[in-house]
């Protein structure tokens, strides 16, 4: 197959994922970013775990939506992540959910 066909397919998947994100974000309270994934969740707990020579973060989330193009079901009951990298957790406010009309993808 032509590389352009694959690129078009990936673009369509990304657009569909963005539209799904836009539709579900108002159902969630937190945005969580790790080095590997982006999550929306209604409960999140981040704990620093110290080892003898280092530390890592243990992130527990409940009622989760996972930003991943290739997942068949992005809604997950719970997620647990262990990481040595940075973790960003932001609490969303209701006013964050309104896109300006000029940014709307709907025609």
62 and 81 in contact (C-beta within 8 Å)? no
Beta bridge mates, 33: 38, 88
Provide the pLDDT for residue 88: 95
The answer to whether 55 touches 48, Cβ cutoff 8 Å, is: yes
The answer to whether the CB of 72 falls within 8 A of the CB of 66 is no
Within the chain, how many helices (H) and strands (E) appear? 1, 5
Q: Is the pTM of this model over 0.85?
A: no
Residue 20 sits at φ, ψ, to 5 deg, of -65, -45
Q: Mean pLDDT in runs of 10 for the chain (107 residues)?
A: 74 90 94 95 97 95 94 93 95 68 64
pLDDT at residue number 9: 83
Question: What pLDDT is recorded for position 1?
Answer: 58
CA distance 62 to 70: 21
Domain residue ranges in the chain:
1-92
| pLDDT for 43 | 97
């Amino acid at each position: 197959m032509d590389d352009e066909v694959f690129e078009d397919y990936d673009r369509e998947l990304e657009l569909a994922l963005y539209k799904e994100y836009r539709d579900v974000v108002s159902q969630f309270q937190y945005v969580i970013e790790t080095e590997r994934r982006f999550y929306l969740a209604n409960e999140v707990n981040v704990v620093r775990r110290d080892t003898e020579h280092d530390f890592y973060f243990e992130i527990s989330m409940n009622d989760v939506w996972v930003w991943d193009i290739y997942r068949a079901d992005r809604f997950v009951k719970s997620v647990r992540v262990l990481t040595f990298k940075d973790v960003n957790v932001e609490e969303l406010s209701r006013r964050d959910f309104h896109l300006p009309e000029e940014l709307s993808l709907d025609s």
